[in-house]
Amino acid sequence: MKYIWMLAAAMLLSACASLSKEQCVGGEWQDIGYADAMKGLTTDRYSQHREACFDYGVSPDFDAYSAGHKAGVPDFCTPESGFKAGRGGYEYQGFCTDHNEAEFLKGYDEGEAVYRIERQISTARQFLYSADMDYTLGGGFGEAYYEFKIDRLELQRDEMLARSRYYRSAK
Q: What local confidence, expressed as pLDDT, does residue 8 receive?
A: 43
Q: What local confidence, expressed as pLDDT, does residue 150 receive?
A: 84
**Cβ-contact 153, 147 below 8 angstroms:** no
Q: What local confidence, expressed as pLDDT, does residue 46 receive?
A: 92
- For the chain, give every domain's residue range: 21-76, 77-171
Q: What local confidence, expressed as pLDDT, does residue 136 receive?
A: 56
Q: Please give the backbone phi and psi of residue 91, each rounded to the nearest 5 degrees, phi first.
A: -85, 125
pLDDT in tens, the chain (171 residues): 444 444 444 444 444 578 898 999 898 999 999 999 988 888 899 999 999 999 899 999 999 999 999 999 999 999 999 999 999 998 888 889 888 999 999 999 999 999 999 999 888 877 776 765 555 555 556 677 778 888 888 888 888 888 877 666 655
Contacts of 27 (CB under 8 A, 6+ apart): 58, 60, 61
Contacts of 55 (CB under 8 A, 6+ apart): 17
Q: What local confidence, expressed as pLDDT, does residue 149 receive?
A: 82
Q: What local confidence, expressed as pLDDT, does residue 14 receive?
A: 43
72-100 pLDDT, tens per residue? 999 999 999 999 999 999 888 888 988 89
CA torsion angle 141 161 116 140 (round to 10): 0
Q: What local confidence, expressed as pLDDT, does residue 122 receive?
A: 87
User: Cα(50)–Cα(57) distance, rounded to whole angstroms?
Assistant: 10
Note if the pTM is more than 0.75: no
Amino acid making up residue 80: E
Q: What local confidence, expressed as pLDDT, does residue 1 receive?
A: 44
**Cα distances (Å, whole numbers) of residue 47 to 30, 89, 91, 123:** 15, 25, 21, 37
**Cβ-contact 14, 49 below 8 angstroms:** no
User: Cα(139)–Cα(150) distance, rounded to whole angstroms?
Assistant: 20
Q: What local confidence, expressed as pLDDT, does residue 91 receive?
A: 86
User: Cα(50)–Cα(68) distance, rounded to whole angstroms?
Assistant: 16
User: Cα(10)–Cα(44) distance, rounded to whole angstroms?
Assistant: 14
**Upper half-sphere CA count for residue 72 (Cβ side, 13 Å):** 23
